[in-house]
A and B are shown apart, each in its own frame.
Chain A
Amino acid sequence: MATMTQTLPSLVKEISQRKIDAYSVVRARSIHTDESWARAKGFRAPLAQGMMSTAYVSEMMTRFLGAGFVKGGTISMAFVKPVYAGDRLTVHGVVKDRQPENGGTRVTVEVWCVNQGGQTTAIGTASGLEP
Chain B
Amino acid sequence: MTQLDDLLADASLASLLALASAAAGGAAIGVTDPEGRLLAGRAVASVGARRSPVRLDGEIVGQVVGDEAVAPELSVLVGCALELALAGARVQAERARVSQELAIGRRIQQALLPSRYPEVRGWTFAARYEPAREVGGDLFDVFTVRGQPDRIALVIADVTGKGIPAAVLMADVKALLHAATDNVEDPAEALRRVNAVLVHERPTALFVTASLAVVDATSGAVRYALAGHEPPLVARHDGGVDRLEAGGPILGAFDGATFELRETILAPGDAMVLYTDGITEARDPARAFYGEDRLLAIIRGSCGRPAERIAEAVMDDVTAFRREAEPFDDLTLLVAERRPTA
Q: Is chain B found bound to chain A in the same assembly?
A: no
